[in-house]
Amino acid sequence: MSDKIRLIIDTDPGQDDAAAILMAHGLAKRGLIDFLAITTVAGNVPLARTTENARIICDWAGETGFPVYAGADKPLLRPPLTAEAVHGQTGLGDAVLHAPVCPLQPQHAVPFLIDTLRRAGDNSITLCPIGPLTNIAQMLALAPDTVRAVKNIVLMGGSYFEAGNMTPAAEFNFYCDPHAAQIVLQSGAPVTILPLDVTHKAVITTPRMDALRRLPNANGPRLAALLQSYERYDIQKFGLEGGPLHDPCAVACAVFPELFNGGHCRVDVETQSNLTLGACVVDWRNITGQTPNARWITKVDADRLFEELAESIAILP
Ligand code: RIB
Ligand code: CA
């Protein structure tokens, strides 16, 4: 029995999502994971765009038959929220986009996730949500028995020691659908969270982008250009020396957990207050004595992360 993780990415591409998806295809080519499918959700841009972008990114990776399933087109309760100011109107900056060859699967993402986990063995599927958690929350709410098959939910979202990037209190994915985030955290599934607290320590510096630009293939320079166009928002907003590489942190943590560090604690998401909607309350010092429900990641070996990203992109066309 292979000990490779069996990975499904739930995503709202999104330029950093593109990096995460390309990295996952590269990791599969390196024989390090079984990359099973992509499910898409509305987030950075509307669902139609996130879904077409996911298919285009699979074409870029040379995976023109990869299974892509479209999911929720809006949050559970909140009005739709998008981030074209960061990711551009298409969601992939000013990248030249083609009509995707990779087909869209006819089944909705949520029944696909339910059917897949119900057929899977115990603790056998790693879910990697890197957008709003609407699809994952619907899967867990409609079919709580699927928790049995979840090895880990390794997600990008939230913030606590770092200020939010949508409001002073909240990060985009959790602000977009706070109710979904709270459902996932209360589900009993094993959850590992890559918040802004750690992604802001994985910044896209010029030397790291040059390493991508120098790759003798199409995807290295393409990804460097994608990340360069998306990073200026965070540089201006946070005064970082480069844009944070948010979503690939989740994929990398699922595959190389030794590159990351954090603590197990109780995490809850604000769903009532207009002032702090989507904020994470992280009981880092276990003041409440509540049983931890998540691993909260705060540290990363950023050099090794970018080395693994470059090695995974290098194996692509
Ligand atoms: O806050 C960063 C997150 O929001 C990333 O997943 C980015 O792609 C956006 O979805
Ligand atoms: Ca995302």
- Asked whether the CA dihedral 202, 253, 6, 30 is positive or negative, the reply is positive
Q: How far is CA 174 from the centre of its chain?
A: 12
Lowest average pLDDT, out of 62-71, 98-107, 208-217, 232-241, goes to 232-241
Q: 15 CB under 6 A from ligand 1?
A: no
Q: Which tens digit of pLDDT belongs to each residue from 131-142?
A: 999 999 999 999
Distances (CA, A) of 211 to 20, 58, 204, 220: 17, 22, 11, 8
* C-alpha 121 to ligand 1 mean position (Å): 30
- Name the nearest CA neighbour of 182 among 282, 254, 61, 280: 280
Q: What average pLDDT does range 60-78 have in this prediction?
A: 98
Residue 183 pLDDT: 98
- Give the pLDDT of residue 154: 99
Question: What's the domain count of the chain?
Answer: 1
Provide the pLDDT confidence category of residue 75 given band limits of 50, 70 and 90: very high
- Distance, in Å, from the CA atom of 164 to the CA atom of 60, rounded to the nearest integer, reads 32
Are the C-beta atoms of residues 220 and 6 closer than 8 Å to each other?
no
Residue 91: CB within 6 Å of ligand 1?
no
Domain extent for 250: 5-314
pLDDT at residue 170, as a whole number: 98
pLDDT at 2 over 70: no
Distance CA 12, CA 7 (A): 16
Annotated active-site residue 108? The verdict is no
Percent of the chain's residues with pLDDT above 70:
98
The preferred substitution site among 173, 230, 231 for testing ligand 1, maximizing ligand atoms within 8 Å of CB, is 173
Q: How far is the CA of 102 from the centre of ligand 1 (A)?
A: 24
The CATH number of residue 207's host domain is: 3.90.245.10
Question: Which of ligand 1's atoms lies nearest the C-alpha of 247?
Answer: 6
pLDDT in tens, 253-290: 999 999 999 999 999 999 999 999 999 999 999 999 99
Instruction: Give the distance (Å) from ligand 2 centre to CA of residue 211.
Output: 23
Quick check: 228 pLDDT over 80? yes
List CB contacts of 293: < 8 A, sequence separation 6 or more. Answer: 185, 186, 188, 191, 266, 267
Q: What is the pLDDT of residue 239?
A: 74
